[in-house]
Structure 1
Amino acid sequence: MSAMSRTRAAVRREPSAGTAPSGRRAAEEGSDSRPHLGRSSGTRRSRLVNRVGATAVLTAAAVAGAGLAPGLSGTADAGTLSAKALRIAAGKRGAPYVYGAAGPTRFDCSGLVMWSYRKAGKTLPRTAQAQYNRTHHIRSGSRRPGDLVFFHSGSSVYHVGIYAGSGKIWHAPHSGARVRLERIWTKSVWYGRIG
């Protein structure tokens, strides 16, 4: 399967992985009423891209890896590792949060990151703070899908997720919640890259 075919397949699957809560879904996705069905295929493609959103496109590009950007072969290994970890974390959508859990069916925040990267081929420490200490620290402008997002209070890291693009992360939020895609809600974050 070519990189473009994998990207198209990922884009078609993505809406189920990152759908908005049902109360906002219809307003954000636009109308699927019959009068809109007669438009040209170009308009349908535009609607599909709008519906899927930037997160899906960025996630699909990360999953496809270096095949979409042949000029980035120097970063292909790190990109492939990060893309795999991102795909694995997204695949755990809906898994319940359990404090201290590190997979395969229940996770806390650092447990999801550790498990996703281990399945992708890289061993990370268990806690969010230790994971932060293990990463190459980067600026927000350099972040890319698969990088780690560390939430902090002062100098202490208290939460971690995997960056999905468009200001969103895959993470295991808190007790009573499930693994989900969510917008970063604070500016008190640091970014780290696994090399």
Structure 2
Amino acid sequence: MAQYREWKGTPYQLGGNSKRGIDCSAFVQQTLSTRFGINVPRSTAAQVDVGTQVRQGEMQLGDLVFFRTGYNSRHVGIYMGNGQFLHASTRDGVVVGDLNQAYWRKAFWTVRRVM
């Protein structure tokens, strides 16, 4: 939650990598690097190949959750437990999302464990 408090209110910006604006994959990259010392690639397409795939029912804190949000469009966030994930939303910037919401249930793709 410290990462959420630090980044809350940061707007979404495709290609962004700072508190002036950040996209989902850069937010994941920044969070894993600064909070856990884990380096992952910059893009969602590359991040989905990192770590080990796990089943949705076996998710743990810090797992990366991936979504197919449109034709050739992907999204990534960090699982926080209790069905919640931290991500940079295209609409709302850095927020906590709920995997139980219909939109995210439908868009769910895969989970990767990098820690």
Percent sequence identity over matched residues? Answer: 32
Question: Per-residue deviation at 1:123?
Answer: 1.0
Question: Per-residue deviation at 1:142?
Answer: 1.1
Normalised TM-score (structure 2): 0.81
Q: Which has the higher strand share?
A: 2
What one-letter code is carried by the residue in structure 2 that aligns with 1:190? T
Corresponding residue for residue 57 of structure 2: 141
Alpha-carbon RMSD: 2.2
| Residue 82 of structure 2, aligned match among 166, 177, 181 | 166
Is structure 2 residue 107 aligned with structure 1 residue 192?
A: no
Q: What secondary structure sits across from 1:110 in the alignment?
A: helix
Structure 1: unaligned runs, 5 residues or longer? 1-58, 60-86
Normalised TM-score (structure 1): 0.50
Is structure 2 residue 44 aligned with structure 1 residue 124?
A: no
Stretches (4+) displaced over 6 A: none
Whose relative contact order is higher, 1 or 2, with alpha carbons under 8 Å and at least 6 apart?
2
Structure 1 residues 153 and 171 mapped into 2: Cα distance closer, same or farther (>3 Å)? closer
Q: How does 1:1-195 map to 2 (within 5 A)?
A: 87-119=2-34, 120-152=36-68, 158-174=74-90, 176-184=91-99, 185-187=104-106, 188-195=108-115
Structure 2: unaligned runs, 5 residues or longer? none
8 Å CA contact 1:90–1:170 kept in 2: the answer is no
Deviations 1:47-84 (A, max 9, x none): xxxxxxxxxxxx6xxxxxxxxxxxxxxxxxxxxxxxxx
8 Å CA contact 2:69–2:75 kept in 1: the answer is no
- CA distance in 2: counterparts of 1:146 and 1:129, whole angstroms: 18
Q: What secondary structure sits across from 2:18 in the alignment?
A: coil
Structure 1 residues 124 and 95 mapped into 2: Cα distance closer, same or farther (>3 Å)? same
Q: Which has the higher helix share?
A: 1
Structure 1 residues 132 and 143 mapped into 2: Cα distance closer, same or farther (>3 Å)? same
What one-letter code is carried by the residue in structure 2 that aligns with 1:169? F
8 Å CA contact 1:89–1:113 kept in 2: the answer is no
Larger Rg: 1
Number of equivalences = 108
